[in-house]
Amino acid sequence: MSRHGKVIVAMSGGVDSSVAACLLHQQGYDCIGVFLRVGEHEADGSAGEPPVNATAGHLPLGDAPRRLRHGCCSLTDSLDARAIAARLGIPFYVLNFAADFREIVDYFADEYARGRTPNPCVRCNIDIKFGRLLRYADMLDAQYVATGHYARILQSGGQSLLARSCNLAKDQSYVLFGIARQSLPRCLFPLGEIADKAEVRQIAAGLGLAVHDKPDSQEICFVPDNDYARFVRQRSPQTHRSGVIVDGGGVVVGTHEGVANYTVGQRRGLGIAAGRPLYVTRLDAAANVVHVGERADLLAAGLVADRVNWLVDSPAPGQAFRATVKIRHQHTPAAASVVRREDERVSIAFDEPQVAVAPGQAAVWYRDDGVVLGGGWIAEAVRANSA
Query: Could you give the count of Cα atoms lying within 13 Å of 92 in the half-sphere of its Cβ?
Result: 23
As a whole number of angstroms, the distance between CA 206 and CA 77 comes to 21
Is the separation of the CB atoms in 183 and 135 below 8 Å? no
- Tell me whether residue 22 is one of the annotated catalytic residues: no
**Active-site residue, from 22, 31, 73, 124:** 124
Amino acid at 246: V
Is the separation of the CB atoms in 71 and 217 below 8 Å? yes
Is the separation of the CB atoms in 147 and 189 below 8 Å? yes
Strand ranges (DSSP E) for 171-294?
Answer: 187-188, 243-246, 252-256, 279-284, 289-293
- Which phi-psi region, left, alpha or beta, contains residue 178 (left: φ > 0; alpha: ψ -120 to 50)? alpha
- Tell me whether residue 124 is one of the annotated catalytic residues: yes
Is the separation of the CB atoms in 33 and 40 below 8 Å? no
- State how far the alpha carbon of 176 is from the alpha carbons of 68, 76, 122, 250, 299, in Å: 28, 26, 6, 39, 26
**187-188 vs 144-146, strand pairing mode:** parallel
**Active-site residue, from 22, 72, 121, 221:** 221
As a whole number of angstroms, the distance between CA 318 and CA 302 comes to 16
Strand ranges (DSSP E) for the chain?
Answer: 6-10, 30-37, 40-42, 47-48, 68-69, 92-96, 144-146, 151-156, 159-164, 187-188, 243-246, 252-256, 279-284, 289-293, 299-310, 320-326, 334-340, 346-355, 362-366, 372-383
Is the separation of the CB atoms in 38 and 128 below 8 Å? yes
- State how far the alpha carbon of 99 is from the alpha carbons of 53, 95, 96, 103, in Å: 11, 11, 8, 7
Catalytic (active-site) positions: 124, 221
